[in-house]
């Protein structure tokens, strides 16, 4: 039975060879040229009749065709010098019925200029591919590892150990914690350590997307689904996350109608685009996070109970920064290294007073607030040491509040004593005032003008009180 190639005329086959490879030579097992095309002969300064039947080494300078016959190994993209030009040659052994019968060689580029011309055409494609690869890694890859989660607090370490254990699972994960505690960092670390780590991590902030756009963002849409829909439609976040992980941040802010549709996706593992007619199967692991109390929302009818239980397979509670006092300085050090790289400011340190300030602040904004405070300080920093004056005003003013508590504590101690031990009010107030001045000076790194501002009194009055209490 003849194949399609058998039916082609010889002239056709020869023309196809000439079109597919500009310069080609075929030799037998002895290295004798059995075929060479006109383009190759023209480049070599010979003719087909002159080259045919000769040993390949007599015709082609620096050839290695005879070596390919000996080794039976192909040589791809080899540099070969012919007539003073550097060419790129490919050489392949020829096997017929598992028997080596000869070899075929092709020349891709006659000279370096041909290669450069080819490079100019290919380079933009390579650059575009590199761009999209980096974009994918930046936007859809995990940025953080478990080693980036720093802390020695007991509750934090328990959360981290649990996260490491569940990273190898396919179960849903619910991350709970106040805003700024690092829920997204945990999601990144879990995804990276999971079997899905090589696939996308798609992040969705459910609170930042308008309700009427949320469905199309999550599930995509077909062409013509609504006015303004892109031609050809658009993939949703779940399709982008196929074989990877989707991280639904602020899940507590998701509208109830969308909660129903999300529950169906989690149960059926398939989505349906807006305007679509057929479901699309997706293989996605779901991680969700919120700062809200979902149990209370379930009781109030603001969050679906069945969705809550579907998401709450593995719950991880992340403690706020105010409960991790021992971790504040190590975290600040990590953030300072990050900021030093961002601002090209190496060797930035915290003064002892600033360390004390950071450890006594309540941090309602948690780690995000700490990073903002440090970034503000680095922006106004002249040297390498961050002092109290570089901190935001609300942190600089906190010693006044602390001193008020000191006065209250002193007063409470006085009036809780026995009647015989009660001290005169003037003496108690003087002692409290002295303590306030000492702490203000400590907070201002010894700068009396700054200390006076912190206490809200004039410079002259401050100097007089320092003299009165013998404070240097």
Burial of 66 (0-12, 13-18, 19+ CB in 10 A): middle
Q: What distance in Å separates the CA atoms of residue 374 and residue 371, rounded to the nearest whole number?
A: 5
Whether 97 and 209 map to the same domain: the answer is: no
- Cβ atoms of 401 and 430 within 8 Å: the answer is no
Burial of 441 (0-12, 13-18, 19+ CB in 10 A): buried
Question: 180 lies in a domain?
Answer: yes
Question: 131 lies in a domain?
Answer: no
Q: Give the total number of structural domains in the chain.
A: 3
Q: What is the pLDDT of residue 87?
A: 77
Question: 55 lies in a domain?
Answer: yes
DSSP annotation of 6 reads G
Res. 295: pLDDT tops 50: yes
Q: 287 vs 82, which has greater pLDDT?
A: 287
Average pLDDT over residues 28-53: 90
DSSP secondary structure letters along 357-412: HHHHS--TTHHHHHHHHHHHHHHT-SSSEE-GGGS-HHHHTHHHHHHHHHHHHHHH
Question: 442 lies in a domain?
Answer: yes
Res. 5: pLDDT tops 60: no
Whether 390 and 249 map to the same domain: the answer is: no
Res. 426: pLDDT tops 80: no
DSSP secondary structure letters along 251-283: GGGS-HHHHHHHHHHHHHSEE--BT-SS-EE--
Q: What is the pLDDT of residue 350?
A: 92
Q: What is the pLDDT of residue 76?
A: 87
Whether 161 and 308 map to the same domain: the answer is: yes
Tell me: the pLDDT tens digits for 78-95? 877 777 777 788 899 999
Question: 124 lies in a domain?
Answer: no
Q: What is the pLDDT of residue 415?
A: 45
Whether 346 and 289 map to the same domain: the answer is: no
Question: 240 lies in a domain?
Answer: yes
Whether 251 and 374 map to the same domain: the answer is: no
Question: 134 lies in a domain?
Answer: no
- Cβ atoms of 184 and 289 within 8 Å: the answer is yes
Q: What is the pLDDT of residue 14?
A: 72
Res. 239: pLDDT tops 80: yes
Which range (13-22, 316-325, 453-462) has the least confidence?
Answer: 13-22
Whether 308 and 341 map to the same domain: the answer is: no
Whether 194 and 292 map to the same domain: the answer is: yes
Which range (26-35, 51-60, 399-408, 424-433) has the least confidence?
Answer: 399-408
Q: What is the pLDDT of residue 218?
A: 93
Q: What is the pLDDT of residue 116?
A: 66
CA distances from 32 to 17, 81, 99, 415 (A): 19, 21, 17, 115
Whether 330 and 412 map to the same domain: the answer is: yes
Res. 406: pLDDT tops 50: no
Q: How confident is the model at residue 438 (pLDDT cuts 50, 70, 90)?
A: confident
Whether 151 and 289 map to the same domain: the answer is: yes
Tell me: the pLDDT tens digits for 159-174? 999 999 999 999 999 9
Whether 152 and 301 map to the same domain: the answer is: yes
Average pLDDT over residues 1-25: 70
Residue ending a domain, among 286, 319, 352, is 319
Provide the CATH number for the domain around residue 54.
3.30.450.20
Res. 135: pLDDT tops 80: no
Which range (22-36, 98-112, 387-401) has the least confidence?
Answer: 387-401
Question: 126 lies in a domain?
Answer: no
Q: What distance in Å separates the CA atoms of residue 439 and residue 368, rounded to the nearest whole number?
A: 28
Print the SS3 string covering 54-67: CEHHHHCCCCCHHH
Tell me: the pLDDT tens digits for 225-236? 777 677 778 888
Provide the CATH number for the domain around residue 464.
1.10.8.60
Residue located via tokens 């009749």:
49
Q: Which residues contact 6 (CB under 8 A, 6 or more apart)?
A: none
12 is in which domain, residue-wise? 5-109
Tell me: the pLDDT tens digits for 197-226? 888 999 999 998 888 889 999 998 888 777
Average pLDDT over residues 326-354: 90
- Cβ atoms of 176 and 318 within 8 Å: the answer is yes
Q: Which residues contact 268 (CB under 8 A, 6 or more apart)?
A: 279
What's phi and psi for 107, nearest 5 deg?
A: -115, 120
Q: How many CB atoms lie within 10 A of CB 357?
A: 20
Q: How confident is the model at residue 318 (pLDDT cuts 50, 70, 90)?
A: very high
Residue ending a domain, among 319, 347, 369, is 319
Provide the CATH number for the domain around residue 189.
3.40.50.300
Q: pTM for the whole thing?
A: 0.59
DSSP annotation of 302 reads S
Q: What is the pLDDT of residue 110?
A: 53
Whether 61 and 25 map to the same domain: the answer is: yes
Residue ending a domain, among 298, 319, 340, is 319
């Amino acid at each position: 039975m003849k194949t399609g190639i058998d039916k082609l005329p010889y002239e056709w086959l020869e023309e196809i060879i000439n079109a597919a490879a500009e310069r080609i030579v075929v030799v037998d097992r002895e290295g004798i040229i059995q075929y060479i095309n006109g383009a190759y002969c023209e480049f070599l300064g010979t003719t087909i009749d002159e080259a045919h039947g000769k040993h390949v080494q007599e015709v082609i300078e620096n050839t290695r065709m005879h070596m390919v016959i000996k080794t039976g190994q192909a040589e791809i993209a080899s540099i070969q010098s012919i007539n003073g030009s550097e060419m790129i040659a490919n050489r392949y052994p020829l096997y017929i019925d598992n028997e080596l019968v000869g070899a075929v060689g092709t020349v891709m580029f006659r000279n370096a200029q041909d290669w450069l011309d080819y490079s100019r055409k290919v380079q933009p494609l390579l650059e575009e591919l590199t761009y999209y690869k980096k974009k994918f890694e930046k936007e859809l890859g995990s940025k953080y590892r478990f080693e980036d989660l720093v802390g020695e607090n007991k509750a934090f370490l328990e959360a981290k150990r649990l996260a490491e254990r569940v990273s190898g699972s396919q179960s849903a994960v619910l991350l709970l914690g106040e805003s700024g505690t690092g829920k997204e960092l945990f999601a990144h670390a879990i995804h990276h350590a999971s079997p899905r780590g090589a696939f996308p991590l798609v992040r969705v902030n459910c609170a930042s997307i308008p309700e009427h756009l949320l469905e199309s963002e999550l599930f995509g849409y077909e062409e013509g689904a609504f006015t303004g829909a892109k031609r050809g439609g658009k993939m949703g976040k779940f399709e982008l996350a196929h074989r990877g992980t989707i991280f639904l941040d602020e899940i507590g802010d998701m509208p109830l109608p969308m909660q129903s549709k999300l529950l169906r996706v989690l149960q059926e593992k398939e989505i349906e685009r807006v305007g679509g007619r057929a479901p699309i199967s997706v293989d996605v692991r779901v991680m969700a996070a919120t700062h809200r109390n979902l149990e209370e929302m379930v009781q109030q009818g603001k969050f679906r109970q069945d969705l809550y239980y579907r998401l709450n397979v593995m719950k991880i509670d992340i403690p706020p920064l105010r409960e991790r006092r021992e971790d504040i300085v190590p975290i600040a050090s990590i953030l300072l290294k990050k900021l030093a790289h961002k601002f090209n400011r190496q060797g930035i340190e915290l003064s002892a007073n600033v360390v004390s300030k950071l450890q006594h602040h309540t941090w309602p904004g948690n780690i995000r607030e700490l990073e903002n405070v440090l970034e503000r300080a680095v922006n106004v920093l002249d040297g390498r040491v961050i002092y109290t004056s570089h901190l935001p005003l609300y942190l600089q003013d906190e010693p006044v509040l602390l001193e008020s508590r000191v006065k209250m504590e002193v007063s409470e101690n006085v009036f809780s004593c026995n009647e015989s031990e009660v001290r005169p009010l003037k003496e108690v107030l003087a002692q409290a005032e002295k303590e306030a001045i000492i702490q203000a000076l400590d907070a201002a790194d010894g700068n009396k003008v700054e200390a006076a501002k912190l206490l809200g009194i004039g410079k002259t009055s401050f100097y007089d009180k320092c003299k009165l209490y013998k404070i240097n």
